Amino acid sequence: MISQFFILSSKGDPLIYKDFRGDSGGLDVAELFYRKLTGLSGDESPVVMFQDDRHFIHIRHSGLYLVATTSENVSPFSLLELLSRLATLLGDYCGSLSEGTISRNVALVYELLDEVLDYGYVQTTSTEMLRNFIQTEAVVSKPFSLFDLSSVGLFGAETQQSKVAPSSAASRPVLSSRSDQSQKNEVFLDVVERLSVLIASDGSPLKVDVQGELRLKSFLPSGSEMRIGLTEEFCVGKSELRGYGPGIRVDEVSFHSSVNLDEFESHRILRLQPHQGELTVMRYQLSDDLPSPLPFRLFPSVQWDRGSGRLQVYLKLRCDLPPKSQAVNIRLHLPLPRGVVRWTFPAYQDPPATGLPPQPLCWGWALQASPLNSPGTHAPASRFASLGWLSGPVATPTPTSGYATLATARPMSFGSEAPQTRTWQQRKKASKWEEDNIFFLGVLAYGSGCRQRTPES
């Protein structure tokens, strides 16, 4: 049972505020929440907070706070699930979820909330049922067009990207298919994987963890049946064996309740009749031994001159993706120790970057495009990229303090977006490094939500 529901921008401005039960007692509940949230001390968790006789439960989604208040001892799982469902729903109806879209579609959001929750009780969250009751049309900032997404190359030449839909193709409201001009029978199937790897200094993976999701966003008329075929070698559990090779194996898999699994055992086919909007068809997990090699490998080497206090970090990154795939938006973060006085970064950048330690004690490098398939690079050479080297810290005169600054180095993180590919066994890449013997801590961690979008007709 929810008493109030509101959406705040990241700065705390109320975008949507709805009081379902009228028990706010004249308080500005939204402001109360934001004040409490910003005033939390370090060891308190912000997810569930208690203030003035009410519990605040919130999720953060695309920079917005979706907050529900309740005075009862509710199930936190259900409530959080409801909040994320609301976020998906708002995304479905408004195209995407952001401060801009919400404030443009205030009327639509209120209308949705009115139908989803009555007196604080959930009525329905099915996009299909809600469609019948929602009258307002979403206001989209600019009409969707394939042309503004650089899918056409120079002089009209076909680029590689024109074969795949741009990543924003799916972010349009489900209801806009009611208005005639953009009515397209499109289905977007995303494989979103999060891979986190912890690697020992000798290069052997200590911990591998993959969480994947099959997300479907459908603009097809409701009731149309869809069959999704997975590879027949798809094995669930450690013992199952299918096909000849190592196969594609996951430890656990769970499906959405609307998926018909009659043909799953025999042919690995999922049958479903998706409603319009987004739906997580399948979730799977895999830990420890990966059947395929890791997509990236990093070869760090650290030289430390005790006399001058100069540290040289040489990083080599190797990408082992299949040639037809490419990694985009690779980011590498190398946190700097506290004692860094000066750093230089001479490799492959013109002019060489140099300077004082940046404030968050972190040095990051975002590669705009993949260095692997950038134009002008020969294919064999492109499989291997040297990222450069970094030198520092310079002024750490006493050996003891130099030792300490190194030991408190932050983990190094590294992220990329997954290659666009049609086979779903390609995994989202991320890794984590740890070097024990030289007190160099490095982590390669993955960036945020990556999507592979493959339109099917």
Pairing of strands 4-8, 14-19: antiparallel
Least distance to another protein, CB of residue 89, Å = 13
* C-alpha span between 274 and 279 (Å, rounded): 8
Binding-site member from 242, 283, 310, 318 for another protein (CB under 8 A): 283
Least distance to another protein, CB of residue 254, Å = 5
387: Cβ contacts below 8 Å, ≥ 6 apart: 315, 316, 317, 332, 347, 348, 365
239: Cβ contacts below 8 Å, ≥ 6 apart: none
Least distance to another protein, CB of residue 457, Å = 28
Kindly tell me which of 50 and 155 has the beta carbon lying closer to another protein.
50
* C-alpha span between 429 and 288 (Å, rounded): 15
Alpha helices, H only, 220-315: 264-267
* C-alpha span between 333 and 358 (Å, rounded): 13
Please, which of residues 284-313 interact with another protein by CB under 8 A? 285, 287-288
* C-alpha span between 3 and 22 (Å, rounded): 7
Least distance to another protein, CB of residue 47, Å = 5
Q: Does 196 bind another protein (CB under 8 A)?
A: yes
Please, which of residues 22-81 interact with another protein by CB under 8 A? 22, 28, 31, 42-48, 50, 53, 55, 57-60, 73-81
Number of residues binding to another protein, judged by CB under 8 A: 88
Kindly tell me which of 67 and 165 has the beta carbon lying closer to another protein.
67
For the window 328-367, what string marks contact with another protein as x by the rule CB under 8 A?
Answer: -------x-------------------------x------
Please, which of residues 377-436 interact with another protein by CB under 8 A? 400-401, 403-404, 407-411, 413, 432, 434
The DSSP line for 202-228 is TS-EEEEEEEEEEEEEE-SPTT--EEE
Stretch of 154-162, 175-183, 252-260, 319-327 lying at the interface with another protein (CB under 8 A): 252-260
Kindly tell me which of 117 and 235 has the beta carbon lying closer to another protein.
117
The owner of tokens 């394939």 is: 146
Stretch of 111-119, 174-182, 308-316, 347-355 lying at the interface with another protein (CB under 8 A): 111-119
Kindly tell me which of 105 and 171 has the beta carbon lying closer to another protein.
105
Q: Does 207 bind another protein (CB under 8 A)?
A: yes
Pairing of strands 187-199, 432-435: parallel
Binding-site member from 186, 443, 450, 452 for another protein (CB under 8 A): 443
Return the H-helix or E-strand segment holding 343.
strand 343-345
Q: Does 86 bind another protein (CB under 8 A)?
A: no
* C-alpha span between 203 and 206 (Å, rounded): 9
Least distance to another protein, CB of residue 129, Å = 9
Alpha helices, H only, 20-105: 29-38, 76-94, 99-104
Please, which of residues 116-145 interact with another protein by CB under 8 A? 118-119, 121-126, 132-133, 135-136
**3-state class (DSSP) for residue 47:** coil
Least distance to another protein, CB of residue 45, Å = 4
Stretch of 207-215, 221-229, 242-250, 270-278 lying at the interface with another protein (CB under 8 A): 207-215
Least distance to another protein, CB of residue 307, Å = 20
157: Cβ contacts below 8 Å, ≥ 6 apart: none
The DSSP line for 139-204 is --SS---SGGGT-B-GGG-B-GGGGS--TTTT-S-GGGGGSGGG----EEEEEEEEEEEEE-TTS-
Binding-site member from 10, 35, 100, 106 for another protein (CB under 8 A): 106
Q: Does 148 bind another protein (CB under 8 A)?
A: no
Tokens of 437: 């013997």
Stretch of 17-25, 145-153, 176-184, 241-249 lying at the interface with another protein (CB under 8 A): 17-25
Residue 223 neighbours by CB distance under 10 Å: 9
Least distance to another protein, CB of residue 388, Å = 21
* C-alpha span between 84 and 90 (Å, rounded): 10
- Contact assessment for residue 282 and residue 253, using Cβ atoms and an 8 Å cutoff: yes
Kindly tell me which of 14 and 346 has the beta carbon lying closer to another protein.
14
Stretch of 221-229, 270-278, 305-313, 437-445 lying at the interface with another protein (CB under 8 A): 437-445
**3-state class (DSSP) for residue 111:** helix
Least distance to another protein, CB of residue 410, Å = 4
Q: Of 289, 145, 137, which is closest to residue 210 (Cα–Cα)?
A: 289
Binding-site member from 252, 262, 305, 456 for another protein (CB under 8 A): 252
Please, which of residues 222-251 interact with another protein by CB under 8 A? none
Q: Does 165 bind another protein (CB under 8 A)?
A: no
